[in-house]
Amino acid sequence: MEKSKRIFQSVIRFPLGNETLTAGLDLFSSFNDEDLYNKSCRFLHPDEIKTGDGYVSDIRRRSFLHGRIAAKMAVNQVFPDIHPADLQIETGCFGEPLLKNMVLPYGISIAHNDLWNAGLCFPLSVPMGIDVETITGKNLAIIPSILSDYEKEMCSRTENSLEFYHLLWTAKEAAGKAIGLGFRVPAAWYEIDLIESISTKPYLIRQCRFKQLSVFKTLSTTIPQGMLSIAFPAEKNLDQPMISLFEQLFNRFNSV
Ligand SMILES: CC(C)(COP(=O)(O)OP(=O)(O)OC[C@H]1O[C@@H](n2cnc3c(N)ncnc32)[C@H](O)[C@@H]1OP(=O)(O)O)[C@@H](O)C(=O)NCCC(=O)NCCS
């Protein structure tokens, strides 16, 4: 992969009442062990490095460290003056990441898999969630188990059903992270009843609306070998800044 296509960083500014709020996104492909060590030393608190090193599973050690680095890099987009290694990210009782020693009311969302890692830093007044998954036929062993009959039918009707399954999956996981409960609640909470194409070129950016969780919506786009979704409040004037963000994302990764 070309170097410029391995990382994407952006600041999202949006109006809320009389204020302009800021969120930060950081997305990057997984590091080799040497780079992971160097970035961990640069971005992580010593206790986070200790926690990561304490995992017996190498896969979990790498995913934990990558996720923490992604979150710190996202915080750095919004607060460049805060030293990332001074902040600590704890795990809440539902598995959610929490910024421990941050005075300002900001939260983070994390996603990691074998190829991609993503961190999103957002104001707590505008809760958000992020998910990224590698698009592979192997995931078809899992995804249908969290889909309703209606959603399965939507997938079977599309030309690229593999991509569509991943669209639904990442949209649901992003929403689960935005509400902080993940899949600890019935899958029906995350039933998607509307998928729209949001861009001049069809199918590049898609928006999902939830039948029950109507206070949130998601935007999604493909990235190399993957699908990325962000969930955010539906009624907070976030559409335009989020669409611009996804256009930047799409252009970065899909330009020739
Ligand atoms: C939240 C959830 C959707 C994450 O999806 P995933 O595909 O496993 O993993 P991802 O890489 O996308 O995301 C992992 C990150 O999500 C975040 N996360 C986990 N639970 C979360 C929650 N309740 N709210 C917000 N974020 C959460 C964490 O930061 C985690 O990374 P970390 O553990 O390194 O800090 C999923 O783990 C879940 O719902 N779990 C709850 C269900 C469960 O554990 N059931 C057990 C009994 S069967």
Whether the pLDDT of residue 255 is over 70: the answer is no
Q: Where are the alpha helices (DSSP H) in the chain?
A: 33-43, 46-53, 58-78, 149-157, 161-179, 239-254
Which residues 6+ apart lie within 8 Å of 39 measured at CB? 31, 69
CB atoms inside a 10 Å sphere around CB 60: 12
Distance 18 CA to ligand 1 centre (A): 34
Q: Which residue has the tokens 């009959």?
A: 149
Which residues does ligand 1 sit against, CB inside 6 Å? Answer: 63-64, 67, 91, 94-97, 109-113, 131, 173, 176-177, 180-184
7 and 94 part of one domain? yes
Residues 72 and 148 in one domain: no
User: Same structural domain for residues 113 and 174?
Assistant: no
Mean pLDDT of the chain: 94
Residue 14 structural domain: 1-125
Cα(121)–Cα(68) distance, rounded to whole angstroms?
12
Residue 101 burial by Cβ neighbours in a 10 Å radius (0-12, 13-18, 19+): exposed
Rounded to the nearest 5 percent, the helix, strand and coil shares of the chain are 40, 30, 30
Atom of ligand 1 nearest to the CA of 63: 34
Q: How far is the CA of 182 from the centre of ligand 1 (A)?
A: 6
Considering only CA atoms, which residue is closest to atom 48 of ligand 1?
A: 184
Name the residue with tokens 């990235």. 223
CATH of the domain at 172: 3.90.470.20
- A 10 A CB-CB count for 115 gives 17
Q: Which amino acid is at 248?
A: Q
pLDDT, average across residues 157-185: 96
58 and 104: one domain?
A: yes
Mean pLDDT of 112-117: 95
Span from the CA of 63 to the centroid of ligand 1 (angstroms): 12
Q: Does 256 have pLDDT greater than 60?
A: no
Smallest CA-to-CA distance from 73 within 122, 38, 119 is with: 119
Q: Higher model confidence: residue 75 or residue 102?
A: 75
Supply the residue whose CA is at minimum distance from atom 13 of ligand 1. 111
Query: Domain total for the chain?
Result: 2
Q: Give the closest residue to 21 by CA, choosing from 117, 127, 99, 111.
A: 127
Is residue 39 within 8 A of residue 64, CB to CB? The reply is: no
Last residue of a domain, one of 69, 100, 125: 125
Residues 6+ apart with CB under 8 A from 143: 165, 166, 168, 169
The answer to whether residue 4 scores a pLDDT higher than 70 is no
Gap from CA of 150 to ligand 1 centroid (Å): 25
How remote is the CA of residue 65 from the centroid of ligand 1, in Å? 15
Whether residue 11 contacts residue 46, with contact meaning beta carbons closer than 8 Å, is answered with no
Q: Which of 45, 90, 110 to mutate to test the pocket of ligand 1 (most atoms within 8 A of CB)?
A: 110
Same domain, 135 and 211: yes
Nearest CA to ligand 1 atom 46: 184
Question: Does residue 91 sit in the same domain as residue 198?
Answer: no
pLDDT for 21-65, tens place per residue?
999 999 999 999 999 999 999 999 999 999 999 999 999 999 999
- Give the residues across from 9 on adjacent strands: 26
Both 153 and 194 in one domain: the answer is: yes
- Residue where a domain stops, chosen among 110, 125, 140: 125
242 and 183 in one domain?
yes
Which residue, 107, 125, 143, sits at the end of a domain?
A: 125
- The helix/strand/coil state of 194 is strand
Ligand 1 centroid to residue 181 C-alpha, Å: 9
3-state secondary structure of 121: strand
Please tell me the pTM assigned to this model: 0.96
Closest residue by Cα to atom 37, ligand 1, is 182
Whether pLDDT at 80 is above 60:
yes
Same domain, yes or no: 134 and 240? yes
Reported as a single tens digit per residue, the pLDDT across 176-235 is 999 999 999 999 999 999 999 987 665 589 999 999 999 999 999 999 999 999 999 998
Q: Are residues 95 and 143 in the same domain?
A: no
**Is 161 in the same domain as 187?**
yes
Examine the domain organization and report whether 183 and 228 are in the same domain. Answer: yes
Can you give the pLDDT at residue 17? 86
